Amino acid sequence: MVRKCFEVPEIGVAERIEIPAKRAAVVVVDMQNDFVNPRGKLFVPTAPETVPRIRRLVDRARAAGALVVYTKDTHYPGDPEFSTWGEHAVRGTWGWEIVDELRPREGDIVIEKTRYDAFYGTPLDDLLRVYRRDHLVVVGTVANICVLHTVAGAALRWYRVYVPMDGVSALNEFDMYVAARQITFLYRGTLVKSVDGVVFT
């Protein structure tokens, strides 16, 4: 085991941000049974507590006219990724479905993705440009995996990205910190303390 003491850099977190609703999309990453439900195959222990917060955010987003996008981690039998994580989120199974409390509504967009990044091999970029949404609020799980890679995919396409910290879950505190550092330092995203600090105008 490698242990090293080092100076931990500070990470700025905004209390409140305002986003133009007609240019905004909330991207809800992989809030599926296999990750959020305790019976799921890759359960993230802090994910359930984010559910009511994300629900508040998407309800306010819809009411304001922002677009709501859900991603679904999607795999097929024999996926090579299973050698890393084990079998999970197999298309058509209970574990693949988005949790009932966050079930998409009419008018929402659902993206099936086969890799960590929701932009990789999906129509997400095209759809966001069609609807002229260039401000993305990203929430969901897992912080340093699919959330971080989706933020990266957005930032590298020059979207403005905001991540409410209490709307994201991680497997441990270290992974959450690493994701926060990369989001702000490498991808120039904005961290927000709470989903309630995201204001759609």
pLDDT in tens, 121-133: 999 999 999 999 9
Number of H helices, E strands in the chain: 6, 9
- Look at residues 83, 115, 88, 76 and name the one whose alpha carbon lies nearest to residue 33: 88
pLDDT at residue 4, as a whole number: 73
Q: How far is 32 from 13, CA to CA, in rounded Å?
A: 27
pLDDT at residue 112, as a whole number: 98
pLDDT at residue 49, as a whole number: 98
pLDDT at residue 7, as a whole number: 80
The predicted-structure confidence for 20-54, as pLDDT tens digits, reads as follows 999 999 999 999 999 999 999 999 999 999 999 99
Q: How far is 62 from 48, CA to CA, in rounded Å?
A: 22
Residues designated catalytic: 30, 113, 146
pLDDT at residue 9, as a whole number: 86
Domains of the chain: which residue ranges? 17-200
pTM listed for this prediction: 0.96
Question: Does the domain formed by 17-200 have CATH 3.40.50.850?
Answer: yes
